[in-house]
Structure formats: C-alpha cells, structure tokens
C-alpha cells in the first residue's frame, strides 16, 4: 500500500514487482502464524526452519514478546492505509 501511494505516477507494470516483493516478504511470517494458531500444526518443517533463521539474528531467549511484533506490524499497516485515504 505504501508503495502504491509513494509511486502513484509509476506505471502499474513496474509496481507489480514491488507488490510481489511485499507479498513474499511477509509470506514466511504468515505461514508461521498459521502454524502457531492451527490445531493440526501446518508446515512444521518450514516453521522450524523459519525459527532457525530468526535464531541466527536474535539469540535464543532474547526475542521480544509476540504481542509487540503484532502491534508494530499492525501500526505499520494502519499508517499505510491512512496515507492512502483521500484528504
């Protein structure tokens, strides 16, 4: 959404790559979220790999609480939506 607002004059054919980048950028977190809320534990191998990649960046036991991640992502989405609203 932010990309669409910031680059309103750029042709849509060029913005498609930015949209795909945003989609595939949040896809791993979305799959992990499905794993955490599902009772059948979907995609266990992928989720272990995702957690492993996070542990390379942030040491085990030092992760911020989940509510903080959800809050910051929600704020970012809300700001992007507000930026797109007509003034």
- Cα separation, 52 vs 46, whole angstroms: 10
| This prediction's pTM | 0.55
What digits encode the pLDDT tens for the residues 21-36?
A: 777 878 888 888 888 8
Residue 18's nearest CA partner among 32, 7, 30 is 7
Provide the strand spans (E) within 25-71: none
Q: Which residue has the higher pLDDT, 72 or 81?
A: 72
């Amino acid at each position: 959404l932010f990309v669409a607002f910031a680059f309103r004059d750029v042709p849509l054919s060029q913005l498609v790559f930015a949209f795909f980048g945003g989609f595939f950028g949040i896809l791993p977190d979305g799959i992990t979220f499905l794993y955490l809320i599902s009772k059948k534990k979907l995609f266990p191998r992928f989720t272990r790999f995702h957690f492993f990649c996070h542990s390379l960046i942030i040491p085990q036991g030092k992760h911020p609480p989940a509510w903080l991640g959800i809050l910051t992502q929600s704020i970012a989405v809300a700001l992007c939506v507000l930026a797109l609203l007509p003034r």
